[in-house]
Amino acid sequence: MSDIKKYVAQHKDRFINELLEILKIPSVSADPAYSQDVMDMAEATKKALEAAGCDFVELCDTPGYPIVYGEKIIDPNLPTVLVYGHYDVQPPDPMELWTSPPFEPVIKKTEIHPEGAIFARGACDDKGQFYMHVKAFEYMVQNNQLPCNVKFMIEGEEEVGSKSLGWFVERNQEKLKNDVILISDTGMISNQQPSITTGLRGLSYVEVEVTGPNRDLHSGLYGGAVANPINVLSKMIASLHDENNHITIPGFYDKVIELSVEERAEMAKAPFSLDHYKKALDIEDVYGETGYVTNERNSIRPTLDVNGIWSGYTGEGAKTVIASKAFAKISMRLVPDQNWEEITELFTKHFEAIAPAGVRVQVKPHHGGAAYVTPIDSIGYQAANKAYTESFGVKAIPVRSGGSIPIVALFEKELKSKSILMGFGLDSDAIHSPNEHYGVFNYLKGIETIPLFYKYYVELAK
Amino acid sequence: MSDIKKYVAQHKDRFINELLEILKIPSVSADPAYSQDVMDMAEATKKALEAAGCDFVELCDTPGYPIVYGEKIIDPNLPTVLVYGHYDVQPPDPMELWTSPPFEPVIKKTEIHPEGAIFARGACDDKGQFYMHVKAFEYMVQNNQLPCNVKFMIEGEEEVGSKSLGWFVERNQEKLKNDVILISDTGMISNQQPSITTGLRGLSYVEVEVTGPNRDLHSGLYGGAVANPINVLSKMIASLHDENNHITIPGFYDKVIELSVEERAEMAKAPFSLDHYKKALDIEDVYGETGYVTNERNSIRPTLDVNGIWSGYTGEGAKTVIASKAFAKISMRLVPDQNWEEITELFTKHFEAIAPAGVRVQVKPHHGGAAYVTPIDSIGYQAANKAYTESFGVKAIPVRSGGSIPIVALFEKELKSKSILMGFGLDSDAIHSPNEHYGVFNYLKGIETIPLFYKYYVELAK
């Protein structure tokens, strides 16, 4: 057994308990009601980095929640790895669908996780995953295995668009200087088949408001005679896709880079069972853009999804009302080379243009980020691949993900370095959903694999 | 000054204060949280009928809220007027738009009501309006002016579809036997121009649920690859109207009675200013079915309006989620001779048929009722017209309303008598909306006018 395996076996219970403790803190960045909890979580992250062996840790003030920065510089001539993660979590609602309270973590066995999985909001995204790096770092420090310098940058606003992170990175380029950025905030194919995320989609997230009459109206007295904001909003949303599920916003696809036939053929080699996919989601069929298969639709193609809609009477029973206003939250996933700010503008212009007379429309941009691709011939990718191969006994597969980590593109622009996305989560972990969980196997395997990345990265960088 | 005018002048303050007291009871029938208040309001209604001079009053048990029944039979050979009203009210939300709390009534002056209006949920619909009948009855009893028998039937479930009323009426035909039914639960054109509602639209109210994946999903990892229930629901709702705003449900218009050119010309004579209408609602343009004008769209034509929609993340900030389920409350206003149960079936069948693969759809019928038309050559209509003419100094105009009082058709079927809709509300009273109010003028004028109806009805019936 290697040193790291021994160390993990020996400290396993403590590693799990430490994670359970931080999962109890409801650090929901989207909701101001939780602001003290987010601050408490920043403080807990700081303490964890100090305990793990950082020489210097601080909470860096930003216009929003603080960024936890820590470092251990052993030799300025050695490479520097910058670890990024986030200590904030998604809102837990709908609360009623959780089988155990989201901030009272418990370990339960599942079919995929016979050795147990930790159920809690943030278990996988991203507390469980960033904490693996803290524990892997602890191992390297305690056992004199740290082969290079390490910097940690753990933020508290990833789930609300990482606004302060951009502000911070722009102002601290020297402090954050590094050779490679290491992030565990994605998934892998399965516990038997590791994969490395080489592409991420960009994002444009907006909120729309449709206003009809200046007050709620009786649907009997006014129904049929005035524009009903809900009917109108539905119609406007419906019109954003054509019959082939192409997005109808003029100019939307102009900068989309189409993959070559060869690239698509390469993608198609990744193991995928449509039957299993449908069964896992309990759907009769998939649904999406004509001309692309499921694994293309959710990775190399841009999309438009409504993430929330609300208006009118939503309580028990019936109320015959025509609401004055209707609202929706809409996000678009983007691919290279779509520019998120340009897409937000195109959306806004189009949405305003299609509003019928009788309503007024307001589009409020929330946040966004660019898409990103990691070259698989980079030292970082190769080191990660060697680490997975040694740890899992099987080569990692490069995968383009449909998710967005907008700051990855920002890092490249501001810090001039590539991010390596070493995720250990699974699709079934239900991140952003009720009953989010993270396999105990995945957590411990992540801690074992990360020191191997450091080892191979420093070797390859020589 | 006539006797009734004197009586009203003398008891005005008491009449207003009595109404303010019952408006403080939040008798919201749609929400079980208010069930004790609804019961309290039934009790208060019983007491008011006793105090006004009924010989017999009782709370009649039903499968839902009780019906308050009261009567004064002075001579079995004289005609009997049955007064119908409802003591329940609409839910008050959205609460934040009320300028004063919905269940703390206050009198405030408005442009239309220089002598003041009572602001409270239920002020006009229907507490203020049914209570006029109680006070008019009090006057007739106190002053030996009651020319016939009176029965009161005040229910507590009008705002949730009057389910128990149907059950009650079917079982109590003898008890409820009458010559004419008198209802004040509608409006009139203005305080200078009284009108009598001669037509009502029917209603079919349903709730729909669209289920996609079996859990909320991350919109990055799944976006574009699965049917998003909100996008799908929007598309389905949008498809329910064509480009001319005709409803697309097959068979929907089959039984609609088209009005003749003459009838439409007669309707067009009612005073109406499109500019004023648009200004009052603060809309740039009206919106509706091609080929019909505003006053036709909201009275003689059937409609389909979404009354509520909800799904996904609706809190502050952004959440990148694909919801598992999306919901909407949808109501259709119907006209003669559409059958509401048939329309509910047609809707259900169509809505299920248009669901794309990848989602499941459930339609839950809430309630409904048939449309209704009162002949203007009936004794009841003529008596009402004479009463208004004497009270207001100007003849009442017959008007077809867009609203629904489903029980009016039920009364005709079960009790074989016509309902006379003597409403004293105004369109601007904001019923079903925040800041519902009822003019003090209208309330007192109603009390003055009602005894005249009794007088002329008994004269004409001889």
**pLDDT, tens digit, 9 for 90 and up, residues A273-315:** 999 999 999 999 999 999 999 999 999 999 999 999 999 999 9
At residue A402, the pLDDT reads 83
Distance separating alpha carbons of residues A149 and A151, to the nearest angstrom: 7
Q: What is the distance in angstroms between the Cα of A403 and the nearest Cα belonging to chain B? A: 4
Closest CA of chain A from B201, distance in Å: 8
**Rounded-to-integer distance, Cα A253 and Cα A255, Å:** 6
* Local structure of B67: helix, strand or coil: strand
Q: Looking at the partner chain, which of B234, B286, B359 has a beta carbon nearest the beta carbon of A238?
A: B234
Residue B1, pLDDT > 60, answer no
> Hey, what are B461's tokens?
């019936």
Q: How far apart are CA A429 and CA A124, in angstroms?
A: 7
CB spacing of B30 vs A333 below 8 angstroms = no
Among the partner residues B160, B220, B294, nearest to A403 by beta-carbon distance? B220
Collapse the DSSP code of B42 into the 3-class scheme (helix H, G, I; strand E, B; otherwise coil) and give the result.
helix
Contacts of B188 in chain A (CB under 8 A): none
Nearest to A238 among B235, B282, B328 (CB): B235
Cross-chain CB nearest to B221 (options A203, A316, A403) = A403
Cβ–Cβ gap B329/A315 under 8 Å: no
Structure tokens that stand for A442 in this block: 């995945």
Residues in chain B closer than 8 A to A208 (CB atoms): none
The CA distance from A407 to A417, in Å, is 12
CA–CA min distance A211, chain B (Å): 9
Using the predicted structure, report yes or no on whether residue B168 has a pLDDT greater than 90.
Answer: yes
Q: Is A225 helix (H, G, I), strand (E, B) or coil?
A: coil
Q: What is the pLDDT of residue B91?
A: 94
Question: What confidence category does residue B32 fall into, taking pLDDT thresholds of 50, 70 and 90?
Answer: very high
Q: Which of B311, B318, B435 sits opposite A309 (nearest CB)?
A: B311
Q: Read out DSSP for A251-309? A: TTTTTPPPPPHHHHHHHTTS---HHHHHHHHT-S-----TT--HHHHTTTS-EEEEEEE
More confident residue, B320 or B246: B246
Residue B239 pairs in a beta bridge with none
Q: What distance in Å separates residue B159's CA from the closest CA in chain A?
A: 7
Position A346 pLDDT exceeds 60: yes
Strand-strand pairing, A202-211 and A117-119? unpaired
Count CB-CB contacts under 10 A for residue A21: 12
Which of helix, strand or coil describes residue A322?
Answer: strand
Whether residue B309 and residue A32 make contact (CB cut-off 8 A), yes or no, is no
SS3 content of chain B, % helix, strand, coil (to 5): 35, 20, 40
The alpha carbon of residue A139 is apart from the nearest alpha carbon of chain B, in Å, by 32
DSSP code per residue over A121-139 = TTTTTTHHHHHHHHHHHHH
Distance from the B313 Cα atom to the nearest Cα atom in chain A, whole angstroms: 5
CB-based contact B313 A329, cutoff 8 Å: yes
Q: With an 8 Å Cβ cutoff, are A308 and B298 in contact?
A: no
Q: Give the one of A160, A230, A286 whose C-beta lies nearest to B317's C-beta.
A: A160
Whether the per-residue pLDDT at B262 is higher than 90: the answer is no
Dist CA A233 CA A210 (whole Å):
7
Say whether domain A204-256+302-368 belongs to CATH 3.30.70.360: yes
How far A298 CA sits from the closest chain B CA (Å)? 5
H runs (alpha helix) in B53-177: 127-142, 163-171
The answer to whether B358 contacts A287, with C-beta atoms less than 8 Å apart, is: yes
pLDDT bin (cut points 50, 70, 90) of residue B318 is confident
Mean pLDDT of chain B: 94
Which chain A positions have a beta carbon within 8 Å of B404's beta carbon? 220, 320
* Bond prior to B427 in cis (omega within 30° of 0): no
Classify domain B202-256+302-369 by CATH number: 3.30.70.360
Residues in chain B within 8 Å Cβ distance of A90: 319
- Tell me, what's the pLDDT at B369? 84
Q: For residue A426, give the nearest of A100, A125, A106 by alpha carbon.
A: A125
> A125, A323, A284, A311: which is closest to B359 by C-alpha?
A284
Query: How many CB atoms are located within 10 Å of the residue A275 CB?
Result: 7
- Mean pLDDT for chain A? 94
Contact A179, A79 (CB under 8 A): yes
Nearest-CA distance from A292 to chain B in Å? 9
Mean pLDDT of A231-251: 98
Rounded (5°) CA angle B425-B430-B431: 70
Rg of chain B (C-alpha set): 23
Confidence of residue A19 (pLDDT cuts 50, 70, 90): very high
What's the pLDDT score for residue B294? Answer: 96
Residue B403's pLDDT is 81
pLDDT in tens, A356-374: 999 999 999 988 888 988 8
Query: Looking at residue A1, what is its pLDDT?
Result: 56
Query: Is B115 strand, coil or helix?
Result: coil
Dig out the tokens for B115 from the structure: 């002598």
User: Is residue B448 pLDDT above 80, yes or no?
Assistant: yes
Q: How far apart are CA B59 and CA B223, in angstroms?
A: 56
- Report how far residue A227's alpha carbon sits from residue A361's, in angstroms, rounded to the nearest whole number: 13
Partner-chain residue, chosen from B231, B304, B432, that has the shortest CB–CB distance to A321: B432
Would the CB atoms of B305 and A235 count as touching at under 8 Å?
no
pLDDT confidence band for A72 (50 / 70 / 90): very high
Q: Closest approach of chain A CAs to the CA of B205, in angstroms?
A: 7
Cβ of B354: how many Cβ atoms within 10 Å? 15
Query: Across the A/B interface, how many CB contacts are shorter than 8 Å?
Result: 369
Closest Cβ opposite residue A217 in set B286, B317, B433:
B433
Residues on chain A touching B233 (C-beta within 8 angstroms)? 234
Q: Do B215 and A434 touch (CB under 8 A)?
A: yes
Q: Which CATH architecture has domain B3-200+371-461?
A: 3-Layer(aba) Sandwich (3.40)
Whether residue B237 and residue A238 make contact (CB cut-off 8 A), yes or no, is: yes
CA distance B391 to B395: 10
Position A376 scores a pLDDT of: 83
Give the Cα separation of B196 and B187 in Å (integer): 8
pLDDT at A440 over 80: yes
Within 10 angstroms of residue A104's Cβ, the number of other Cβ atoms is: 12
Q: Which of B103-117, B266-280, B398-412 has the highest mean pLDDT?
A: B103-117
Residue type, A369: G
Closest CA to B24 of B101, B90, B99, B85: B101
**Does ipTM surpass 0.85 in this model?**
no
Q: Please report how many Cα atoms fall inside a 13 Å half-sphere around the Cα of residue A212, on the Cβ side.
A: 25
- The answer to whether the CB atoms of A286 and B403 lie below 8 A apart is no
DSSP string, B273-334: -HHHHHHHHT-S-----TT--HHHHTTTS-EEEEEEEEEE--SSS---EE-SEEEEEEEEEE
> How many Cα atoms within 13 Å fall on the side-chain side of residue B171?
10
Closest alpha carbon to A460 in A388, A396, A379: A379
In the chain, the amino acid numbered A376 is I
Q: Which residue, chain included where needed, has tokens 């957590």?
A: A443
| Whether A309 and B313 lie within 8 Å, measured CB to CB | no
Q: What is the mean pLDDT of residues A146-163?
A: 95
pLDDT digits (tens, 9 = 90+) for B367-413: 888 898 888 889 999 999 999 999 999 989 888 888 877 788 889 98
Torsions phi, psi for A456 (to 5 deg): -75, -35
Nearest CA in chain B to A323: B307
CA distance B232 to B211: 10
Neighbours of A179 (CB within 10 A): 18
Is 90 exceeded by the pLDDT of residue A326?
A: yes
Tell me the mean pLDDT in the region A395-401. 87
Domain spans, chain B: 3-200+371-461, 202-256+302-369
If you write DSSP's letter for every residue of B189-248 in order, what string do you get?
Answer: S-SSS-EEEEEE-EEEEEEEEEE-SSS-EEHHHHTTTS--HHHHHHHHHHTTB-TTS-B-
B61-94 burial string, b = 16+ CB within 10 Å, else e?
A: ebebbbbbbbbbeeeeeebbbbbbbbbbbbbbbb
**Contact (CB<8Å) A233/B234:** yes
How do residues A30-55 score in pLDDT, each as one tens digit?
A: 999 999 999 999 999 999 999 999 99
User: Which residue reads 């009162």 in tokens?
Assistant: B374
pLDDT digits (tens, 9 = 90+) for A77-94: 999 999 999 999 999 988
pLDDT given at position B437: 98
Q: Which residues of A touch B320 (CB under 8 A)?
A: 203, 205, 307, 331, 404, 432
Q: Which amino acid is at A378?
A: S
